[in-house]
Amino acid sequence: MCGILAVLGCSDDSQAKRVRVLELSRRLKHRGPDWSGLHQHGDCYLAHQRLAIVDPASGDQPLFNEDKTVVVTVNGEIYNHEELRKQLPNHKFRTGSDCDVIAHLYEEHGENFVDMLDGIFSFVLLDTRDNSFIVARDAIGVTSLYIGWGLDGSVWISSEMKGLNDDCEHFECFPPGHLYSSRERAFRRWYNPPWFSEAIPSAPYDPLALRHAFEKAVIKRLMTDVPFGVLLSGGLDSSLVASITSRYLATTKAAEQWGSKLHSFCVGLEGSPDLKAAKEVADYLGTVHHEFHFTVQDGIDAIEDVIYHIETYDVTTIRASTPMFLMSRKIKSLGVKWVISGEGSDEIFGGYLYFHKAPNKEEFHQETCRKIKALHQYDCLRANKSTFAWGLEARVPFLDKEFINVAMNIDPEWKMIKREEGRIEKWVLRRAFDDEEKPYLPKHILYRQKEQFSDGVGYSWIDGLKDHAAKHVTDKMMLNAGNIFPHNTPTTKEAYYYRMIFERFFPQNSAVLTVPGGASVACSTAKAVEWDASWSKNLDPSGRAALGVHMSAYDEKANSVSKAAEFEKIIPMESSHVGVAIQS
């Protein structure tokens, strides 16, 4: 993927404007250090900073149709590009890039082709025949994108806020799953899955269907012409991703180029839960494992850089982004250009510990819907920007469109946490990969309790952040917080500290409004705080804030694991189907 910047209809085609666009595009160079490009058509500019992953030799951008009347700058990966090319037999492609199909699909289908793309993407398409343009962002918002408006009537598009914040009168996050058309001068939602309405689904739980859908999501993301690896924290989600990748890597084209030995990466403080668990999983899977240590001081020293790159003042996101930011630099130094990661599972399956308190299946399901819709402001933003700060791409199979449809169509009664029946958080996912004959993971890893990334790298990390913030934010400063920061007023010294740094980099009111707010406990939405009256007095985003839940669900861990076997009587697992490769 890459970094894109577009300035459209700025009524200025001067050399000075071109120089300014180039200057702003360079602010995104960390996203695409391999090559840069700029196409100008009158007063429209499309700039690109490329991270070359598929067809690194000829896939430079912007991309064009045959006669160069349609121009595209895109940040993305289109996993079904080979199938789409077959549907365009009368078109001539200039490159082998997966994104080359976009201009040609537009020629065939007009603006109504976006749902045909299976992948993650943000793009700007300019039709020079009438100077119209469209902008689109992927379904969940895995890729980051912003839109802004200039006083001269121009429309600005950028992968990151820093590419447009100084030149726009107003800017905001480009909504995921939407398309903006210059002909209509309006947004419209192109992504309309059944779950989006939050209606309660009723499909029975089929563990094999869930397993196969996720395996397919992982396998399709192994499309690459460059070295890659997997982020492995030792928790359920990243361990499943690593297990599936390891199991099927040898059958892919990637293995022909780079070998079938998978590289895994983990970061943490010395002695942290993640380091120990990740090493155990890596040994079990036989990966080439790379373990990176950082100190609390290393993390604190990086906070300003993290906030500049992540472009948020949200406490949870900054806590979790910092270790990922530090690890990404180490990974890139080894020559790896992209990684596969486990974001999205907790939102889809109700994996956060506060879901233990969901009062019924209706509220459980609606909370998962709210969490998925907000991912672009939290975990997707973290995964995208903390890796791209060093020119590293993160791919997230749990947020595959097809997989989400399968997982969100399950009757949420199956996802409910019922300790008395041995059903812990994300039980439906754990059960789907609980294979006695050909195990994906050791039992105790498959049933390991959820640790938020910022907790799992070492509990002293969060405590160290709080102590550091307390040294820089006084009680007197907190008394005036509401006057200085009237929107999303920080309620802790840690939040105040991050907010000060953020507004130094991004002082515009539009920037402040791009960051979500509201009450939260253990990563919940504000609505879910209502599930437990005691939570309103303990609004901390750490998983440890779910008082009475963290570790308590594992008082009888062995018993919980053994009880899962009882459900085989209800949902038989056919061993003959286990481990069947899914064709991508």
Name the residue with tokens 């160079």. Answer: 29
- Contact yes or no for 517/510 (Cβ under 8 A): no
Residues 476, 478: Cα–Cα separation, whole Å? 5
Residue 459 one-letter amino acid: Y
Q: Is 266 helix (H, G, I), strand (E, B) or coil?
A: strand
Residues 468, 395: Cα–Cα separation, whole Å? 33
Annotated binding site for ATP: 231, 267, 341-342
- Tokens, residue 325: 């930011």
Name the residue with tokens 């403080």. Answer: 269
Q: Is 213 helix (H, G, I), strand (E, B) or coil?
A: helix
Nearest partner of 495 among 514, 472, 513, judged by Cα? 472
- Tokens, residue 64: 């064009």
Q: Which alpha helices (DSSP H) does 415-508 contain, by range?
A: 427-432, 443-446, 453-456, 459-472, 475-479, 481-484, 493-505
Set 2, 99, 380, 523: catalytic member: 2
Annotated binding site for L-glutamine: 98
CB-based contacts of 530, cutoff 8 Å, min separation 6: none
**Consecutive H or E run containing 122:** strand 119-127
CB-based contacts of 86, cutoff 8 Å, min separation 6: none
Residues 200, 508: Cα–Cα separation, whole Å? 40
- Contact yes or no for 240/433 (Cβ under 8 A): yes
Residues 517, 409: Cα–Cα separation, whole Å? 29
**Consecutive H or E run containing 25:** helix 15-26
- Contact yes or no for 444/557 (Cβ under 8 A): yes
Nearest partner of 465 among 429, 507, 421, 496, judged by Cα? 496
Q: Is 197 helix (H, G, I), strand (E, B) or coil?
A: helix
Cβ atoms within 10 Å of 501's Cβ, excluding its own: 18
- Contact yes or no for 282/232 (Cβ under 8 A): yes
Omega prior to 442 cis, within 30 of 0: no
Residues 436, 235: Cα–Cα separation, whole Å? 20
**Consecutive H or E run containing 170:** strand 170-173
Catalytic site includes residue 2:
yes
Residue by residue, DSSP assigns 521-546 as: STT--TGGGGG-GGGGG----SGGGS
Name the residue with tokens 């209509």. Answer: 184
Residue by residue, DSSP assigns 333-389 as: HTT--EEE--TTHHHHHT-SGGGGG--SHHHHHHHHHHHHHTGGGTHHHHHHHHHHT
CB-based contacts of 144, cutoff 8 Å, min separation 6: 122, 159, 160, 376, 380, 381, 384, 385
Catalytic residues: 2
